[in-house]
Amino acid sequence: MLAAAVREVVGMSDADRDELTDMLRALVRPAWVLSAVDDRDAGEPGEIGRSRIGGLPDLPRDWRWPTARPQPDAGGSADDAEVSLAFIAQIDLAEAPGVADAGWLPSSGRLWFFHNGESEPNHVVLYADVPRHELRTARPPADVLDLVDACFLLDEPHPVDLHRTLFLTADYQTGWHSQGFEALEDALDERFGEDGAGYDLLAEIQDHLIAAAVTEGPWDGMLMGRPTPCPPPEGSCPCGRSAPADAPGYNDVSGPCSWANDSLLALYGYWGDGPLVYTADANVAPRIDGRRFAATEAWIY
């Protein structure tokens, strides 16, 4: 998939394409593009539990709606009652082709994403692996933020399909940049003798990767797999770092191409200021703390 996307780039020799492909292999990871489904209604019988953005979540029958406490600097205090979080998206991992191969996300079950900018924490990512018949469509409590007033255009459900692709570690649409990616951008700028040439080239390659996954219709976001470590075992990274196969901690925060958190879910087109991005700890396999997907953050760019 990566080699095919690089071959689409014009103005490069075959040798240059092969070299660029090899450099990019350390900077890509599994991902799934979320594309809108127009011909299904998420509320129809049989559609309980399918992947969707917005609308109402289908939660296990014994779950309560998730809550969090207001932030003190938002006029609240530690004694304030908890407030409910607004539902953002649910992902059925069984609908993500090849998710077991990613080696990071659970291979089955569902993820539920909630958010509320006025609470602390401002989000939660929930996980459960239960049969569809044990789910129920949950109605939000009265104190949930009005989605329209909060600039969330998610009052209607948007069913989505998941298409497997690859994601460069600094997708230009999320604002997340690894040092390895930026080093490669600078090297390409120098090779082509033009500032911004590397950015444009890598953005073009990412576009080709997405187009190969979603052949028609719009897409609304990406679910991420585990990032490639810096440096890869028995290899070297474009940042210049290398390590033997048994090097401990090669994927820790001190590595020049890894940050403590990495993208988990990025949603586009619903917020005027930029995408809503959820991140998870990139250094360890995700830990499920009770029903919560641990070590996550979320913000709107």
Domains and CATH numbers, the chain: 2-300 (2.30.320)
Q: How many residues does the chain have?
A: 301
**pLDDT band at residue 282 using 50, 70 and 90 as cut-offs:** low
Identify which has the larger pLDDT, 59 or 67.
59
Structure confidence at residue 82 (pLDDT): 80
pTM to 2 decimals? 0.79
Residue 238, pLDDT score: 43
Angle ∠(229,235,240) on CA atoms, nearest 5: 80
Q: Look at 257 and 224; give whichever has higher pLDDT.
A: 224
Calculate mean pLDDT across residues 82-96. 91
Mean pLDDT of 22-35: 84
In 3D space, the residue among 219, 112, 230, 217 whose CA is nearest the CA of residue 165 turns out to be 219
The identity of residue 199, as a single letter, is: Y
pLDDT grade for 69, boundaries at 50, 70 and 90? confident
Q: Give the contacts of 101 (CB within 8 A, at least 6 positions apart).
A: 30
Q: What is the mean pLDDT of the chain?
A: 76
In terms of Cα–Cα distance, which of 225, 262, 215, 197 is closest to 20?
197
